[in-house]
Chain A
Amino acid sequence: MIRDPSLQELKRYNWRRFTPAQRMGRYVAYLLTVIALVWTIRGLDIYWPWVWDSPVQMADLFRRMYPPDFANMREILRVLMETINIATLATLLSLFFAIPTAYIAARNTSPHPLLVWVGRFILVSSRSVNTIIWALLFVAIFGPGAVAGVLAVAFRSVGFIGKLMAEAVEEIDPAQVEAMKATGAGPGKVLMYGIVPQVMPAFFAVTILRWDINIRESTVLGLVGAGGIGLILQGSIDMFAWRQVAAILIAIMVVVVLAEIVSAWLRSKVLD
C-alpha cells in the first residue's frame, strides 16, 4: 500500500534530477573536459587572425566555386570509373588474403594456437595503417598509378574483412561441424559443408560493406599519386580552377551516395 504523503512531507520534498554523488561526478567530468580543452587550445599552434578571418575565406572559396564547371565531364567520368574500378579490384584482391587469414585467426578453425596470434597480428597491422599511408608506401615501391592504389586499398581491407570474418567463423554453430565429423568427413569436407554455408551471408555482407567504404577511400588515393579521381582534384585545386573543383566534388558525392544505397540494398538482400 502506498500511503498518501502528508502536506508537511510534500512541502519538504524537492525533486532533484541527480543525487549529490552524481552531481559531484558530473562536475569532475566537466572540469576534466575543460582542462583538456584549455590544454589543447593553448598547445595548438594556431594563428588566430586566420581563425577569425576563416568565415570570410570560406565564403569567398564557395563563391568562387559557383557555378560548378562541368565542361570536363568526360574526363571526370573517366577517372570516376577508374576510382570505382580501383575500389572493386582492391576489394576482390583483399579477399585472397583476408579469407586464409580469417581462417587461421579464428580460434575454432585455426590449425595451431600460435597461428591464431599470427593471424591476429596480420589483421591488426593491416587495420592500423590508414589507406593513404599504405598508398604512400606503394607509390614509393611501384611508382605512381593505379597499381599502388589497388594495393593500398586492398592491404587496408584485409584487416577489416579478415577481422569480421574471423568473428563470424568463431560464432558458428559447432553442432553442424560435429555432425559432419560424425559422418566421417575429412577437414576439407567439414569446411565446405559445415562451416562455409554458415558464414556465407556474413561473407557477402562484409565484402559489400567494405566495397562501399573502399569507394570513399579510393577518392583520395590520387592525392598521393595512386590513381583515381583524387589526381584531377589535386590538379584543379593547384590550378585554382575552383569551379571545376566544385564539379568534381559533386561527382564524388553522387558516386559515394549511390554506392551507399547499392551497398545497403545488396546487404539487405543477402542477409535475409
Chain B
Amino acid sequence: MQAQAPGSAGAAQGRPDYRWKRPQFFTNPYVRWGLPVAGLAYLLWAISTLSINWNRVSAGIPRAGRIFGNAWPPDFSRSNLIISGFTESIQIALLATALGLLISVPIALLAAKNIMPRGLHWFGRGIIIVARSFHPVIVAIIFVKAVGLGPFAGVLTLTVYSLGFVGKLLAEAIEEIDEGQVEAMRATGAGFIKVLLYAVFPQILPRQVGLSIYQLDSNLRASAVVGVVGAGGIGGTLMNSFRRFDYDFALAILLLIIAIILVSEAISGRLRSGLS
C-alpha cells in the first residue's frame, strides 16, 4: 500500500539493474506467502472433516429444478393466512422494539464506565455480551420452551435481541458524552437523576432515536425468522408451507418478506438520514 519514499526510489532508479516492483499489501513476506498456503491447507482439512454425502448432494440438482418448478408461479391465494402472519410479525417487532428500547437505557447506563463506579460497569456489560452472543433463533427456542409456543416468546426473543444491540451502542454513546455538561449540572447542585435527565440524556437522545429506527427495521427482519422455531409471525407460516412441500405458497411468502424488508429498509434509511 505505502509508496516508497521518492528519494530512495530515485536513488534506486539510478542503478542500472533497477526494476520496479509492485508494492505489496502484506509487507511481511512470511505473511504474504504463508497466508495462501495455510488457507489452502485449512480448506482441504475443513472439507475433509465435514461428513458430506456426495450422492445426496449430486441428487440435489434435479431436485432443485423440481422444487423451483413447483414453486412457480407463486400462490398468493391464501391471503388471509399471509396477512395474519405478517400482521403478527409486525406487531411482535413493534412491541419488542418498545420493550427493548426501554430496558436498554438502564442497562446502557449500567454498562457505561463514566456513569457507573469502576468495575461495576462489567455487570451491565455482561448482560449485553450474553444478549448479543446468541442468535435470536437460539434465544427463541429457549423462550418457546419456557413460555410456550406463540408470539409472546417472539416478543421476549426480540426484546433480548434489541437490548443487546441498542444497549451496546448506547453505552458507547454515553461514554463519549461531553463531561462539561455533567459537571455544569453537578455545580448547580443537581442530584444523580437530574444530572442524567438534563446532562446525559439530551446528549444521547439523537443517537437513541437513530438506533431505535434502525432496531425496528432489524426486528422486523428477525421477526420473520423466529417463527421457524414456533415463536409466532410469518416465519411459522413459511416453515409449515416448506414442511408440506407447498413451495408455491412458500415462494409467495418469501417474495412478500423481501418486499416488506426493502420498504422498511428504505423508510428506515430515509428517516435516519433525515435525522443526521
Contacts and interface: CB of A to CB of B under 8 A. Distances in A.
A88 B41 CA distance: 13
Nearest to B22: A193
Given A141-B67, A146-B52, A249-B134, A128 B258 contact: yes
A120 to B, nearest CB: 11
Scoring A53, A136, A253, A257 by chain B CB atoms within 10 A of each residue's CB, the highest score goes to: A136
Contacts of A233: 138, 141
A253 B46 contact: no
Nearest to B260: A128
A217 B148 CA distance: 24
Contact of B261 (A41, A128, A256): A128
A145 B146 contact: no
B256 to A, nearest CB: 11
A89 B258 contact: no
Nearest to A229: B138
A219 B95 contact: no
B103 interface: no
A45 B151 contact: yes
Nearest to A253: B133
B242 A44 contact: no
A57 B60 CA distance: 43
B151 A217 contact: no
B174 interface: no
B47 A143 contact: no
Interface string A33-70: 10011011101111100110110011001000000000
A82 to B, nearest CB: 7
B229 A85 contact: no
Interface in B255-275: 257-258, 261-262
Contacts, number: 165
B187 interface: no
Nearest to A37: B98
SS class, residues of chain A in contact with chain B: helix
Describe B's contact surface by its main secondary structure: helix
B141 A81 contact: no
A219 B134 CA distance: 8
B94 interface: yes
A124 to B, nearest CB: 7
Interface string B166-185: 00000000000000000000
B254 A133 contact: yes
Contacts of B155: 44, 46
A180 interface: no
Contact of A85 (B49, B135, B147): B49
A132 interface: yes
Nearest to B226: A132
B134 A88 contact: no
Interface residues of A, number: 63
Contact of B225 (A46, A133, A249): A133
Q: Name the residue among A36, A40, A47, A150 with the largest chain B CB count within 10 angstroms.
A: A40
Contacts of B228: 132-133, 136, 223-224
A200 interface: yes
A252 B187 CA distance: 47
Given A43-B91, A89-B46, A142 B57 contact: yes
Contacts of B225: 130, 132-133
Contacts of A36: 94
A249 B137 CA distance: 13
B80 interface: no
B57 A45 contact: no
B150 A145 contact: no
Nearest to B23: A197
B224 interface: yes
A233 B59 CA distance: 28
B111 interface: no
B13 interface: no
Contacts of A249: 134, 138
A232 to B, nearest CB: 12
B18 interface: no
Interface of A: 33, 36-37, 39-41, 43-47, 50-51, 53-54, 57-58, 61, 81-82, 85-86, 88-89, 92, 124-125, 128-130, 132-133, 136-137, 140-143, 145-147, 150, 193, 197, 200-201, 216-217, 219-220, 223-224, 227, 230, 233-234, 237, 245, 249, 252-253, 256-257
The 10 closest A-B pairs by CB, nearest first: A142-B60, A146-B50, A128-B258, A85-B46, A220-B137, A253-B133, A40-B91, A143-B56, A54-B147, A256-B133
